[in-house]
Amino acid sequence: MELFLVLIPITVILVAFSLWGFIWSARNDQFDDLDKQAYSILFDDDDNAQAESKPDRADE
């Protein structure tokens, strides 16, 4: 029974910290675009591919 006197305040602190973290991330737009990074691996970066295939003009 004495263990509950320790576990209940620890649980309340962990829940409060988790709730604070969720509210902070929601207010700082962390959940705005969840699909952007997932789709970014499906498409090639044309800008990077063209920059690598073009020779430098300084060599000419």
31-34-35 Cα angle (round to 5): 160
User: What pLDDT does residue 57 have?
Assistant: 65
Tokens of 10: 């620890």
pTM: 0.53
Cα 24 to Cα 17, 28, 30, 50: the distances in Å are: 10, 6, 9, 40
User: What pLDDT does residue 42 have?
Assistant: 83
Per-residue pLDDT of the chain (60 residues; tens, 9 = 90+): 899 999 999 999 999 999 999 999 989 988 787 787 778 788 877 666 555 666 656 655
Rounded-to-integer distance, Cα 17 and Cα 34, Å: 23
User: What pLDDT does residue 30 have?
Assistant: 83
Rounded-to-integer distance, Cα 36 and Cα 7, Å: 40
Tokens of 5: 């006197």
